[in-house]
Amino acid sequence: MKKNKIVVGSRDSKLAVMQTEIVMKEIMRYNPEIELELITLKTTGDLILDQSLDKIGGKGLFVKELDQALLDGRIDIAIHSLKDMPMEENEELPIVALPKRGDARDVLVLPQGCEFVENEDKALYYQNIGSSSARRKLQIKKLIPDACTSIVRGNVITRLAKLDRGEYSSLILAAAGLQRVGLPQRISHFISVEEMIPAAGQGILSIQARRDLDVEFLKYIKDDNTTYAALAERSFVRTLDGGCSSPIAAHATVEGEYIKLIGLYYNELTTEHRVAEAVDRKERAEIVGEQLALRLRGEIG
């Protein structure tokens, strides 16, 4: 169904709204005849801030209110961070476009006025790291065995305020989030994807719509390489049945006709983890993710 007005849904956090506005500008750039209206909604994940996500229901808590708004017809499309979306896609509400990926790396953020010095002892930075991610905690320990982490929830601005009040010695956040919210200067140190494999979909914005919506207006903002990378990463995590409580990580890059996927698998029973990579033709992105996941699961039980 083709429409001249598109109602866009977003979480009401500052980052979510700014990310949504980025996508809306791209839509308007290629479709000046379409009128766009933005509606924001609070999600359950935004409201419960005193518990880690795995304790209250996982990533779906950031999307279910927007899913319902799509189903009810209150909005036509919803903009999400892909890493917040469940790995199993809803057939009635498919992901219809992925714009070009932002910076997928994690970053170290220090309190206002503190400077990261590359060659000095970094123990002070890691005394009390704010991070609720099991994926980040596992990899921080690998980099800095003596590091201590504490749960931190809330949007980017809330977390930075807690850091600057002295509640944490540092934070680990996604580079793309700080860049999109207009705070790239708060990045103290970029952590390479080799040091800390990102979450599947990190740095990618996704556009979700009802199945009956004509989404031809999105064709020019779709990015093929981002789509291939997302397919591989999400297939890897989905095959391992990894939710937000599981320290699974996956990051794919596309060069020419080939895709390279690096994945981290953690066995909760044995507490072993392993990292491996695979390279194949990009058209086989989902198969690459599945096969790498099965290989790692087979290697460590």
- Residue 170: Cβ within 10 Å count: 25
Question: What share of the chain in percent tops pLDDT 90?
Answer: 73
Residues in Cβ contact with 63 at an 8 Å cutoff, skipping those fewer than 6 apart: 43, 78, 80, 84, 85, 86, 208
Banded model confidence at residue 119, pLDDT cuts 50, 70, 90: low
Greater confidence, 54 or 187? Answer: 187
In a domain, 198, yes or no: no
Please check whether residues 77 and 215 belong to one and the same domain: yes
Q: Which among 124, 131, 151 has a CA at the least distance from the CA of 51?
A: 151
Residues in Cβ contact with 9 at an 8 Å cutoff, skipping those fewer than 6 apart: 39, 40, 41, 66, 69, 70, 74, 75, 77, 78, 79
Amino acid at 173: L
Instruction: Please give the span between the terminal C-alpha atoms of the chain, in angstroms, as a whole number.
Output: 48
Please check whether residues 51 and 179 belong to one and the same domain: no
Instruction: Please give the average per-residue pLDDT across 101-107, as a whole number.
Output: 97
CB burial string 85-102: b at 16+ within 10 A, e below: bbbeeeeebebbbbbebb
pTM score of the predicted model:
0.89
Q: For residues 137 and 128, what is the distance between their CA atoms, to the nearest angstrom? A: 12
Please check whether residues 182 and 213 belong to one and the same domain: no
Please check whether residues 233 and 282 belong to one and the same domain: yes
Q: What is the pLDDT of residue 55?
A: 45
SS3 string, 175-239, reads HHHHHHCCCHHHCCEEECCCCCCCCCCCCCEEEEECCCCCCHHHCCCCCHHHHHHHHHHHHHHHH
Q: What is the pLDDT of residue 49?
A: 46
Domain total in the chain: 3
Q: For residues 146 and 129, what is the distance between their CA atoms, to the nearest angstrom? A: 11
Instruction: Please give the average per-residue pLDDT across 283-300, as a whole number.
Output: 93
Please check whether residues 25 and 166 belong to one and the same domain: no
Please check whether residues 13 and 55 belong to one and the same domain: yes
Q: What tokens does 12 get?
A: 């009401």
Greater confidence, 54 or 94? Answer: 94
Please check whether residues 125 and 137 belong to one and the same domain: yes
CATH number, position 284: 3.30.160.40
* From 84, 103, 106, 280, active-site residue: 84
Range of the domain at 89: 1-99+204-222
Q: Which among 237, 247, 239 has a CA at the least distance from the CA of 201?
A: 237
- Residue 104: Cβ within 10 Å count: 23
Please check whether residues 176 and 235 belong to one and the same domain: no
In a domain, 197, yes or no: no
Please check whether residues 155 and 270 belong to one and the same domain: no
Per-residue pLDDT of 17-43, as tens digits, reads 999 999 999 999 999 999 999 999 987
In a domain, 54, yes or no: yes
Please check whether residues 85 and 215 belong to one and the same domain: yes
> What's the longest Cα–Cα distance across the chain?
60
76 a catalytic residue: no
Please check whether residues 85 and 10 belong to one and the same domain: yes
Banded model confidence at residue 229, pLDDT cuts 50, 70, 90: very high
In a domain, 196, yes or no: no
In a domain, 240, yes or no: yes
Banded model confidence at residue 44, pLDDT cuts 50, 70, 90: low
In a domain, 199, yes or no: no
Please check whether residues 238 and 218 belong to one and the same domain: no
Element containing residue 280 per DSSP (H, E): strand 273-281
CATH number, position 169: 3.40.190.10
DSSP state of 67: H
Q: For residues 40 and 75, what is the distance between their CA atoms, to the nearest angstrom? A: 10
